[in-house]
Amino acid sequence: MNRIDKCFEELKAQGRKALITFVTAGDPDLETTEKAVLEMFDKGADIVELGVPFSDPVAEGESIQRASIRSLSGGTNLVKILDMIKNIRTKTDKPLVLMMYINTIFVYGTEKFFTQCAEYGIDGVIMPDLPYEERDEVLEYADRHGVYTINILAPASHGRIKKIASDSKGFIYSVLPAGNDADSCGYEDFLNTIKENASCPFAADFAVSDPEQAGKIAALCDGMIISPAVVDIMEKHGRDSVPFIAEYTAALRKAL
């Protein structure tokens, strides 16, 4: 069983919501990234997304773009990230997901990439620039190795929401704009459409940083994706970030 499935099954049995956190790998360095990942798990994160830095991260906000630049400037690449994950896997069995651009996979080699995902313990991959209709370019390799390709949904997906929601594995990554009030955000129809058609759990990324608001939003779905709050902490504190990330993660877990 994929670790993501196991995670959501256990959370459902416990009546809890998933806390999914995000950090850009290699910002400020991979040693700090590894410490942060393990600390987030220790303080209550259920799944961690590792962002693979890219030279032109057009689908990301400004803070994550800056994190990618810092990471790449420090010499981070996919090979080093995979080695770090291999080391993390000796210390935790909780789900790990990569967020990355499709060109990085193509350049690395699609078959080689998904083979190593399975070998190193990567449970899912989110590719924000790969349209759902073009997923067959990687789906065969991902399925062969038991790695989930995580589908992304936004209100702008319109008539495709039902189809994509019903054809998803692991969890659905639902994206909504920041700055909405959690009690009356105006996206209930969107979230309800996903819920009614989803073939797996779905989590919402509202780009919020306040733990209390995150808790209110999580009540509308199966989990909460926190992005880019941890990246912002990394930007502010650099190699001294881990204690601050631990405190923030614990507050989020309590709120959920």
Q: Give the C-alpha separation, 241 to 176, whole Å.
A: 27
The CATH number of whichever domain residue 237 belongs to comes to 3.20.20.70
Biggest CA pair distance of the chain: 45
Average pLDDT, the chain: 91
Q: Give the C-alpha separation, 25 to 32, whole Å.
A: 9
Would you say residue 180 has pLDDT above 60?
no
Task: Work out the number of other CB atoms within 10 angstroms of the CB of residue 168.
Answer: 24
Domain span at residue 192 reads 3-255
Q: Give the C-alpha separation, 147 to 101, whole Å.
A: 16
* Each residue's pLDDT tens digit, 184-206: 456 678 888 899 999 999 999 87
pLDDT of residue 183: 47
- CA distances for 250 relative to 21, 129, 208, angstroms: 12, 32, 16
Do residues 151 and 132 lie in contact, with contact meaning Cβ atoms separated by under 8 Å?
yes
* Each residue's pLDDT tens digit, 106-115: 999 999 999 9
Would you say residue 179 has pLDDT above 60?
no
Count of structural domains within the chain: 1
CA 2 from centroid of its chain's CA atoms? 16
